[in-house]
Structure 1
Amino acid sequence: MMNIQAVFIDRDGTIGGTGHFIHPKDFKPYDFSQEAFQLLKEHGIKTIAFTNQHRISRKEASIQEFQEEFNTYGFHDAFICPHSENDNCNCHKPRPGMLLDAARKHNLDLKKCVVIGDVGLTDMLAAHAVGAMKILVLTGWGPSSLTQYREAWKEAQPDFIAENLLEAVQWLLNNHTKMQGGT
C-alpha cells in the first residue's frame, strides 16, 4: 500500500467537458466528478488541479477564473499553464514544471503522487517524467490517446486505465492507499 500524498487531476476531458477549451463559467463537470473529489477528501488525500490553458495568453479567460472554478470543486490548489506549447515554458504539459512547482510548494514526493488525465501525450508523459503513478481515463481524448496517438507516448505505460475519474479514484483507493488522518 502506498501513502498517497496528492492526486493531480487534469481538467478538460477528465473532470468534464469535451477535451476542448470551455470557459470556466460554462464548464460543467461530469455527473460523477464531484463524487470522485469527495472520496479523495474523505480519505485525506490532497487534490491538485493541473491544466494547460493557452487561451489565457489569448485573453479568452484568466488564471483567476480557473482558480475560482477549482476552488468550487474543493481542490487544495491548482497549477495552470497559461502558455501555448510554442512558448517553450517549463510548465506546459508534457513538461513537468507544474508538478515540480507543486512538489516544492506542498513538500511532496512526486513518487508518492498520482496523475489522472485523459491525454497520453501530456498528462501521462508529465507524470512519467517525475515518477508519479499514472491513470488514464477514457473520457475526453482518452480513447484516441490509446489508439491513434499511443506510439507517441509508448514509454509512459499507465498504471491503470479507467472508464472515468470516479472509477480511477475508486481503483486508487481500493488498491493503493492507507487511511490518512485529517485533510
Structure 2
Amino acid sequence: NKHWGVAKNDINYVSPKQLIDQICNSRKVGANLLINTGLEFDGAIPAFSQSLLKIVGQWMSVYGEAIYATNHYENQTYLASGETTDFIKGNYLFVYGLGNIGNSNVVLGGEKARKIVFNQYPQRVTSITWLDNQALFEFEQVLDGTLTIYANAFQYGTHLIDRVATITVED
C-alpha cells in the first residue's frame, strides 16, 4: 500500500498484476525488486499481503527460471518495435497484456495471436516455447534479423498476467 509498515486505514494495496509487471520490468532493466510487507503489531504478515505473496509465488513457480536466468550484465535486452512493453532478455521472451482464447460467447473478443516484431535480433531462432504449457508457437525471421512472433493468448481458464517463453537459437 502507500505506507512503510502497517496502516490500519490504508487499503490501497498493489494488485497482483502491478506486482508481476514490476518484477518483469525490473528484469527488463537488469534490476532486482525488493517486495516489502509491513508486519502487524505481533509480527504477523497481514492477510492481504500473504495472499499477494502467494499469487506471486504461483507465478514464479511457472516463470521463475526466466527471472533467475537473466541478469543484466550477461544478457542484452531487445525491445519489441512499436508501443509495446514486450521484450527479449537472454533466451526468454516476456509478453504483456495477452487475453484469453475461447469461444466468443464465453471470452470477450475470442483473442487471436498477437504479432510482435523485434528489429535486428542477432541470433537465428529455431523454436519458441511457452513456459506455462510447453506449446510451440509461430514466428518468422528474415536475413536482416527481423523476428516476427505470433504470440497466442492464454487458453480459457488460465491467465497468468504476463507470459514468458523460451527462445531456442542456433549455436
TM-score, with length taken from structure 1: 0.27
Mark the structure with the bigger radius of gyration: 2
Which of the pair is proportionally richer in strand? 2
Identify which of structures 1 and 2 has the higher relative contact order when contacts are C-alpha pairs closer than 8 Å and 6+ apart.
1
Which of the pair is proportionally richer in helix? 1
